[in-house]
Chains A and B, each alone.
Chain A
């Protein structure tokens, strides 16, 4: 058996010796031996006592030249931290809640408390694209105050100003839900899959920025916020009440934020000024990333668990049932989008605005079907699920 040698110099046990001894012992397997050479006479008395307290075996001492002594220790078998063999590069198929916040790859001392993480299965939590999406997210952050030309905002005719205020109010309200809903899942994700939590953190930051710019735009031209409707409120509550991470990713990111991409594109198309155009465009780029992550998550989970199709369909049906009393797109929003597309309250323009709004609903439906098929649903399933989607868009 090979013996690890440690030179303790003249350090006493309580004078720094342990800083050499403990890390050397930590590298040994249980029963592994270490020889400590020391010229401090007190070590002969203190080391056996320390070994007893720490449950290592003090094997004895041998004299060395020049008054030094070699103390032999065998590492005890209790409290030996286990390191993953591959250094933590591979994702565990199932994460152990007793490893707590230990970073993946750390050697974890056994006997630690069990953490309340519930998202502990690789194939339900972490899609392979997450690293790439995280990189994208951190390199595409933008600053509302710096990157939006707020000075291009000028007062609009009253009808248009009101329509814009209403649109921004709706966007901010929905983005608030997109901030809160993923946040409820973040602390449930096992830190072995920290990349997912870190991506969600970028998503939360994105939503914060979107809320900031939508509210700022609503007021920038001297206008006010619009109405928060019961349909929106019911729809968003049904998202907040979700308890399953994959169902939430599906309903919020794939269906909700996916539909939002078309909405943002619509606002962008009819933006009355450069600031509105840029802020919706930038928000749409961020949202595209969220949709991408949601799709990756759902596709990955579906690939490993085909029973999920049924569960996701049931989640959509259940949500549709809670929204049964909603007649359609919240009226204040439908009106605002029509006026926005019309460029104001002129009746001739409004006819075109109304057409544009109807086209938007059709585009949303078509793109939802495309995304659902991309996630792995059949064309029939995709059409049915899209039909059941909330009239609130998110």
Chain B
């Protein structure tokens, strides 16, 4: 008989991943659901392990989720996402005084961008700029390829983008709206030096993925345990705060259309 324990993969983008997943495991145990986790060092390895059946479920970035969808011809099973994963946006932020007053003024200027596998700080802002008619071949990119393999989870490359704007190395930069808003709320953005220029259309972020044909009973138990976490419960709240959400939401696929378009374009190259 196969092991009833639900094995979930997650990427250890920060030491707090251990705290988060031990907290979630404790919550599942209290619900009578046997769950354990495996931490990976990068999303590529995690996706391979999911597709080879080493783990039941993977907690995936949008890029990892899109790859799972493509590799399984949309037969993978999406299980849930954070409230904060819905309608994510990226911001094009400009240095005041650089003379960049609209995204049409970007050609000929330097645009700081995050890691090449960061959906919010590189892949999608560039895709949306392209769709908005900006000729990217004439824009000088200042890339910060930090923490490659973590798909932008650490936010490190976005902080580098903001730093480059503050000290004048770039005229504009791309960051996710989460970092942009939380850095402002924490008083770490100098509003006299940097301001928002443009907001991208919305897109969705992380997703719990299961491989095609995963046992339904396991996935049902997982969803039941996940959706019973409540912000008002102090034990849950600690974990939810660390993971950056207030409530778990059902899955939806339409929020990944723009990312699939960007990947299609990349494959054609």
**A274 CB–B CB distance under 8 Å:** no
A111 touches B233 (CB 8 A): yes
Closest chain B CB from A10 CB (angstroms):
11
Q: How many A-B residue pairs have CB under 8 A?
A: 63
Asked if B196 and A46 sit within 8 Å, CB to CB, the answer is yes
The segment out of B2-10, B19-27, B84-92, B140-148 that lies at the interface is: B84-92
Question: Does B260 have its Cβ within 8 Å of any Cβ on chain A?
Answer: no
B191/A53 in contact, CB under 8 A: no
Specify the chain B residue showing the minimal Cβ separation from A11.
B191
Chain B contacts of A46 at CB under 8 A?
Answer: 180-181, 184, 196
CA of A110 to CA of B237, assembled, Å: 10
A358 at interface (Cβ–Cβ under 8 A)? no
Interface size on A, residues (CB 8 A): 23
Report whether B191 and A15 are in contact in the complex, using a CB–CB cutoff of 8 Å.
Answer: yes
Contact of B195 among A42, A48, A110 (CB under 8 A): A42
Instruction: Check: A271 CB closer than 8 A to any chain B CB.
Output: no
Q: Are B191 and A12 closer than 8 Å at their CB atoms?
A: yes
How does the 8 Å CB contact mask read for A316-352 relative to B, with 1 for contact and 0 for none?
0000000000000000000000000000000000000
Chain A, 10-39, CB within 8 A of any chain B CB? 12-16, 18
Rounded to whole Å, the gap between the CB of B229 and the closest CB of chain A is 12
Return the contact of A14 from the options B83, B189, B199, B238 (Cβ within 8 A). B189
**A67 CB–B CB distance under 8 Å:** no
Cβ contacts B190-219/A at 8 Å (1 or 0 each): 011001101100000000000000000000
Which parts of B227-253 form the interface with A (CB within 8 Å)? 231-234, 237-238, 246-247
How far does the alpha carbon of A371 sit from the alpha carbon of B136 in the complex, in Å? 90
A117 neighbours in B (Cβ, 8 Å) = none
| Residue B185 interfacial (CB < 8 Å) | yes
Q: Is B183 an interface residue (CB 8 A)?
A: yes
A145 is an interface residue with CB less than 8 A from chain B? no
Tell me whether B183 and A14 are in contact (CB under 8 A): yes
Q: Any chain A CB within 8 A of the CB of B34?
A: no
23 contacts between A and B (CB under 8 A): A13-B181, A14-B183, A14-B185, A14-B189, A15-B191, A18-B184, A18-B185, A42-B195, A42-B196, A45-B91, A45-B198, A46-B184, A49-B91, A49-B180, A50-B184, A52-B84, A52-B87, A52-B177, A55-B246, A79-B246, A112-B234, A113-B234, A113-B238
Binding site for A on B (CB under 8 A): 83-84, 87, 89, 91, 177-178, 180-185, 187, 189, 191-192, 195-196, 198-199, 231-234, 237-238, 246-247
Q: A residues near B, CB below 8 A? A: 12-16, 18, 42, 45-46, 48-50, 52-53, 55, 78-79, 98, 110-114
